[in-house]
Chains A and B, each alone.
Chain A
Amino acid sequence: MSDSLAPTKTKGYHSAKRKKTWALTSMVLPGAIWLVLLRYLPMFGIVLAFKDYQIYTRAPTLFHNIQHSEWVGLKNFKFLFTTTDSWIMIRNTIGYNALWIVLGIVIAVSFAVMLNELTNRFVAKTYQTLMFFPYFLSWVVASYFVQAFLDPTRGLISNIQSNLGMEVTSWYNDSKPWPVILTIANLWKNVGYSTVLYLAAIAGIDTTQYEAASIEGANKWQQVWHITIPNIRPMITILFIMNVGKIFNADFGLFYNVPMNSGPLFPTTQVVDTYVYRALMATSNPGMSTAASLLQNVVGFICLMGANTIIRKLDEESSLF
């Protein structure tokens, strides 16, 4: 572009270039300032993970509080790992994520393939619209949906149980059924989204491949297996890597709102993110909270890099970076 402006590097060329750089920098600036204040400044707060945070009563500003809090080394981390809570929340976070990554891929890819095989496009579009709907609702709204079924006195399932003379399950006090409930809730909200993504990838496949295959006598299953799946493999890989990178992060809303923040359910509903929140707000222990999120960040980063490296070894083109 600059070539067309001035082929020879005259004084005017340089000032025009400087002007352009200034203009573009001024465009970046609002965003950059926001990033500094809300993303980079808090990174210094990571020191909290190594401190025993106390309010400095003489001048209780954030900076003074941090400055005058005592260094405690790895005490916060040690404490994190000596409690049974930490084992539970790490197991829950990784367990749910691993299960949901696999289920999510299998179900969403199947739905996308099915939708693509339908001959009536209008019907297919309607299905897609309906199954995408839950993605647009918040977990607060979803928690009411769940409550409509599980409420101990009025919920639909509780009522069916009592009408059949069965013992009514106290859903919000019994942690055992929650792995299933949370799995259903998660799939309910997110399968439509992944299906749409895979569908977009399938729509991009060159259809002559299918025609050639059908002339060769390949049946539908063989076509799906040998043409559709290999063609959308990069998409599957990308979503897989991104999800593995987030394996130590949980969807806070799901784990906080859907079980109604109910204490007896913590054995199956406590995850790193809810712990980080509860340590900060309920027990006001920012040190422990920061330690847990730092751990989360580091493990997440390693997982992402690890997943990417493995994928690159298997299939160079599919890797993220």
Chain B
Amino acid sequence: MARVETMPVSHTGKKRKARMNAVSLPTEVVIHIVLILFCLICVIPFIFVGIISFTSEESIREIGYSFLPNKLSLQAYRYVFDLGDQLWRSYFNSFYITIVGTFLSVLISALYSYALFRKDYKYRRFFTIFCFFTMLFGGGLAPTYMVCKNLLGLSDNYAALIVPTLLNPFNVIIMRTFFQTSIPLDLLDSAAIDGSGEYHTLFHIVLPISKPGIASISLLTSLAYWNEWFLSMLYIRDAKYFPLQYLLMRMQNQVDFLVKNSSKIGPEAAKIMRDLPQESLRMALVVLIVIPIAFAYPFFQRYIISGLTIGSIKG
């Protein structure tokens, strides 16, 4: 166990003095073992599913899912790319709702929280309560569903996957707290004296110095949109609008879904159906969904943590 006694940097990034009274070596070893075990539990399911996706169908038939398959194969991925019409469609849908949804959601939240941050805003109190009351009380699933579907026409369109989660009071709290801690009031004063309008102040002075806050809520929101399947389950019947997560959910009981929605028809489709590497194919899809998150998340972790920390403390 290498002991680094040079000024450790804490998680918030601020330096702190090296603690002279570190835990004893045996204790530290035990701690490492416990944490390594838990970390393994956290990542092994993903690795396991990854291995299954590269396992040949015969091997699965013979020995089931295994960490040590008899034979590896790229079959599943070949099928995914070969009959991927529905898959690419869903990939596009997921990216589309993530990008458009995040942009709109962050814009609306930033505008709303900026007004709540301004102490001199006349209706500040009213709109603060107006927003946060919805965290405590709501109409419930059935009334919300009926309003969305029957009144607002959120059914089988992209809006149905974006609009119902546009504003999250949690994000308003995060953004308002960010403004409160990072925007000096003098700055607003001097901007007003210089004749800067409210929108100009917000977009050209306040938001540029609130980038970490914007990053936090953008990442949390895009993660929520990327992982979205509940709204699809409620409002989407047409496979044209299925995002990845919902496609995956439907594949749980209907593996043939991909074939049915591909351009392949007739005997060709029947042949594909017969040789379809069902098991590995589904796991390959799981891998393709998780990969973007797995690669992006370590880099953005910092912003997500700061957002979640603020949200949980102030909320």
Contact = CB atoms under 8 A, between A and B. Distances in A.
Interface residues of A, number: 106
Interface in B10-50: 10-12, 16-17, 19-24, 27-28, 31-32, 34-36, 38-39, 41-43, 45-46, 48-49
Interface in B137-168: 137-148, 150-152, 163-164, 166-167
Contacts of B34: 114
Nearest to A66: B146
Contact of A260 (B146, B189, B252): B252
Interface string A118-160: 1111010101111111101110111111111101011110110
Nearest to B14: A203
B270 interface: no
A-B pairs with the 10 shortest C-beta distances? Answer: A45-B143, A293-B140, A42-B139, A145-B45, A31-B112, A23-B198, A138-B227, A214-B21, A42-B143, A154-B64
18 contacts: A4-B193, A5-B192, A27-B199, A28-B116, A32-B130, A35-B130, A38-B147, A130-B42, A132-B301, A141-B289, A144-B282, A191-B38, A203-B12, A207-B16, A211-B17, A211-B20, A280-B141, A301-B137
A32 B113 CA distance: 11
A31 B167 contact: yes
Q: Is the interface of B mostly helix, strand, loop or mixed?
A: helix
Contact of A46 (B143, B230, B286, B289): B143
A53 to B, nearest CB: 9
Nearest to B311: A197
Contact of A210 (B19, B134, B137, B297): B19
A89 interface: no
B41 A188 contact: yes
B310 to A, nearest CB: 10
Interface string A76-101: 00000000000000000000000000
Contacts of B131: 31, 35
Contacts of B3: 119-120
Given A140-B249, A200-B12, A280-B145, A38 B164 contact: yes
B284 to A, nearest CB: 11
B136 A304 contact: yes
A290 B163 contact: no
Given A35-B130, A207-B16, A207-B19, A235 B112 contact: no
A23 B199 contact: yes
B52 interface: yes
Given A24-B122, A119-B5, A197-B308, 14 more contacts: A27-B198, A31-B167, A34-B108, A115-B35, A119-B4, A131-B42, A137-B290, A144-B49, A144-B248, A148-B65, A151-B65, A203-B10, A289-B142, A301-B136
A44 B139 contact: yes
A67 to B, nearest CB: 13
A31 B147 contact: no
A239 B312 CA distance: 7
Interface residues of B, number: 115
Interface string A26-55: 011011101101111111111010000000
Q: Is the interface of A mostly helix, strand, loop or mixed?
A: helix
B35 A111 contact: yes
Contact of B31 (A35, A118, A132): A118
A104 interface: no
Contact of A238 (B122, B147, B188, B313): B313
Contact of A2 (B108, B120, B140): B120
Given A207-B16, A220-B27, A154 B60 contact: yes
Contacts of A244: none
Interface string A219-263: 010010000000000010011001000000000110001001000
Given A28-B127, A155-B65, A1 B142 contact: no
Contacts of B9: 121
B42 to A, nearest CB: 5
B192 A27 contact: no
B78 interface: no
A304 B8 CA distance: 39
B209 interface: no
B138 A37 contact: no
B28 A119 contact: yes
A271 interface: no
A204 B12 contact: yes
Nearest to B44: A145
A290 B38 contact: no
B120 A159 contact: no
Contact of A30 (B45, B60, B111): B111
A102 to B, nearest CB: 18
B177 interface: no
B85 interface: no
Interface in A299-319: 301, 304
A131 B11 contact: no
B115 A28 contact: yes
B74 to A, nearest CB: 19
A121 B60 CA distance: 41
Contacts of B262: none
B52 A27 contact: no
A161 to B, nearest CB: 11
A35 B16 CA distance: 44
A290 B152 contact: no
